[in-house]
Amino acid sequence: MPAPQPTSHDPALDVGAFWFRYRREILAAIVIVLLLAAGWGAYQLYRARRDSAAAAQLAAAKSPQDYEALIGQYGGTPAGASASLIMAEAQRKDRKFAESSATLQAFIDKNPEHELVPTAKMAMASNLESTGKMDEALSLYKQTAEKYAKSYIAPLALMAQVSLFKARNQPDAAKRACETVLSQYGESFSANEAMRELRSLKSTVTSSPAPGQARPPSAPAPAAPPPAAAPPKSK
């Protein structure tokens, strides 16, 4: 009895059968992809128009009220972020330090990952320093330098600590801050300032006695010359 011949399959028939069986699912998936693509394109267009409108409003803003309105309407745009910092600086110039810090904190809360957050923290620390809250200012400068160690703001935060350490009569801490700037941020603009401060600190330490050490005795003053003899009286 002859062996049965193997049945050959036409790939075109298999594809046709697959399409006929799953055509509804395939069409639905295509429609979803097209809708997502259209939605993404519409969002990008909306975002570009919104950013453009915010930038135009920022260019026309002149008063704190203008900046406040811009922040409220376009808080998530680049122009809205810039408006927050501009408004905070204007409040600082008016010596409204608490209001300035509140504006900066609101910006940080809304934009925690924004690239200008380190700048906002530095401004808040400066506000604390201006109101005499030196311990809080120093703590915030330290946090900023540590958290944003790879940011351009880190050497600035370190140098801001130097003046506070000097005011608290902590020259060793001030020297360490300067040395950190020189070792880790030697190419930054702050490196020149750190070098000047370090030289000044070293000369001050050299000329001042260590704690508990008496000053060297000064050279005795030269003895006063004896008084000249009075001329003889004429007879």
The reported pLDDT for the residue numbered 141 is: 95
Cα separation, 80 vs 68, whole angstroms: 9
Read off the pLDDT of each residue in 127-154 and give the average, rounded to a whole number: 94
Q: Tell me which of 142 and 26 has the higher pLDDT.
A: 142
Percent of the chain predicted with pLDDT > 90? 40
Determine the residue type at 119: T
List the structure tokens of 44. 């990008």
Residues 6+ apart with CB under 8 A from 159: 177, 178, 181, 190, 193, 194, 197
Decide if 120 contacts 88 (C-beta within 8 A). Answer: yes
* Residue keyed to tokens 């504006």: 103
pLDDT class for 79, splitting at 50, 70, 90? confident
Instruction: Using a cut of 0.85, tell me whether the model's pTM lies above it.
Output: no
Is the pLDDT confidence value at 19 over 80? no
Q: Could you count the other beta carbons within 10 Å of the beta carbon of residue 96?
A: 16
The reported pLDDT for the residue numbered 7 is: 53
- Among 97, 71, 72, 74, smallest CA distance to 84 is for 71
The reported pLDDT for the residue numbered 83 is: 85
Q: What is the pLDDT of residues 180-209, one digit of tens each?
A: 999 999 888 899 999 999 898 887 755 445
Decide if 68 contacts 87 (C-beta within 8 A). Answer: yes
Q: What is the pLDDT of residues 28-74, one digit of tens each?
A: 777 777 666 777 676 566 556 766 777 887 777 777 788 888 888 77
Determine the residue type at 195: M
The reported pLDDT for the residue numbered 218 is: 46
CA quadruple 47, 51, 56, 62: dihedral positive or negative?
positive
Decide if 197 contacts 180 (C-beta within 8 A). Answer: no
